[in-house]
Structure 1
Amino acid sequence: MERNSNRTVVVTGFGPFGEHTTNASWVAVQELQKLGLGDEVDLYVYEIPVEYQKVLDLIPSLWKRHNPQLFIHVGVSGMATTVTLEKCGHNQGYKGLDNRCYCPDNHCCVQGGPDCLESIIDMDIVCNKITDPQLDVVISVSKDAGRYLCDFTYYTSLHLSHGKSAFIHVPPLGKPYTAEQLGRALQTIIGAMLGVLERPNAKMNCQLGH
């Protein structure tokens, strides 16, 4: 039997919360699933509830199940007007309540962990590589994923994967992009990320204030 040499990529979006009764991140991930990442990439997608404890349970479980080359998380930001590549996740400062009106007592992801962890993927390089004239979406780079479930998930994933994770923020649907536009943007971005994955130049332990 021929061994499957495909790369494995896991992509998550979030379920509803607050005013986001339809979460654009999960809609965008479902659009990505329709498009796929090509014949050489096995794509798995999952919806994550907006709950701290679910994140702490699910992220390690999915890593163990798939051992992916890259684990990508997509979240919605009500303030975003671009598709935003997040450089790093933060360990401290989690005070917002989740869907179960809970937040961690210590307000952090990993007790004793570094304040900031960066992806091994250089997001500036990814952003600069995306020159597809058919992609009618503006892409930007950020150092602040927001200190809520998005940031919490990103840090948790970076800590487990030794940096082999990425986080992408999308705007709410129609503000200004359609689900189809967001799905194509994710497909293009993830393709670019896989292209630079062999260039692990990012610092894993970032002590700078973001």
Structure 2
Amino acid sequence: MTAAVLLTGFAPFDGADINESWQAVQAAAAQLRADGIEVAQLELPVEFDAAGYLLEAAVREHRPGLVVATGLAAGRRAVTPERVAINVRDARIPDNAGDRPVDEPVVPGGPVGHFSTLPIKAIVAALAQEPAIPAAVSQTAGTYVCNDVFYRLLHLLATDPGLAGMRGGFVHLPAAADLPVEDSARALVRAVRTCLATPEDVVLTGGAEH
């Protein structure tokens, strides 16, 4: 089975009843399909190893041209495409399987980091045209399962010749208290459309002092 786009979000974790990333993915996928774009969607468990394995399997099954993984960033008030995934696991809290790795690599022997292959600055520029949806480039995806999935995805795309040309990356979404899920879904739709229409990123300021 092939799909133009693979979207992923996460299951609830840390005692929460919902995870806004999965809610946003479901709504965005429905809208993109209504617009004629082939979309596969996948809810990932908040578990080291399991989430990455499931994502890798889905990439190989669906062979999309574009993979946009998403996760919840409680406390952030903006939609934040991530610039870089780092090869470290350092869990502040246990995952849903009870694992809590500290200072372990995501991929033993892998490079220190992988840069997103999404046009992250073009995404931020596009979202600036959407009313009431703040957006910014993020310089860190953390060291929990979101970063784990992000790194595993990019490492797969960088090392599997059979996936040459596939682009992928990660977008963090705010909690519903800071941005309604429908706005996060609208942001994802705009992000996907921007990726499909933008083969190379634009040159815009998107750095940070800290």
> What is the TM-score normalised by the length of structure 1?
0.84
Unaligned runs of 5+ in 2: 159-165, 204-209
Alpha-carbon deviation of 1:19?
4.2
Counterpart residue number, 1:168: 171
CA spacing shift, 1:182–1:95, aligned 2, 3 Å? closer
CA spacing shift, 1:67–1:156, aligned 2, 3 Å? same
Alpha-carbon deviation of 1:39?
4.5
> Partner letter of residue 57 of structure 2?
S
Counterpart residue number, 2:22: 26
Residues 72 and 167 in structure 1, CA contact (< 8 A), matched pair in contact too: yes
What secondary structure does 1:18 align onto?
coil
Counterpart residue number, 1:148: 144
What secondary structure does 2:137 align onto?
strand
* Alpha-carbon displacement from aligned partner over 1:179-201 (angstroms, at most 9, x marks no partner): 211111110111112222x2279
> What is the TM-score normalised by the length of structure 2?
0.84
Amino-acid identity (%): 27
Residues 78 and 172 in structure 1, CA contact (< 8 A), matched pair in contact too: yes
Counterpart residue number, 1:129: 126
Alpha-carbon deviation of 1:61?
0.6
Unaligned runs of 5+ in 1: 203-209
Alpha-carbon deviation of 1:106?
6.4
Distance in 2 (CA, whole Å) between partners of 1:171 and 1:125 is 19
In terms of mean alpha carbon deviation, does 175-184 or 74-83 score higher? 175-184
Distance in 2 (CA, whole Å) between partners of 1:101 and 1:27 is 24
4+ runs deviating over 6 angstroms = none
Question: May I ask how many residue pairs the two structures share in their alignment?
Answer: 196
In terms of mean alpha carbon deviation, does 163-172 or 42-51 score higher? 163-172
Alpha-carbon deviation of 1:38?
5.8
Counterpart residue number, 1:199: 200
Distance in 1 (CA, whole Å) between partners of 2:3 and 2:202 is 21
Specify which of 33, 53, 56 is matched with residue 57 of structure 1: 53
> Partner letter of residue 99 of structure 2?
Y
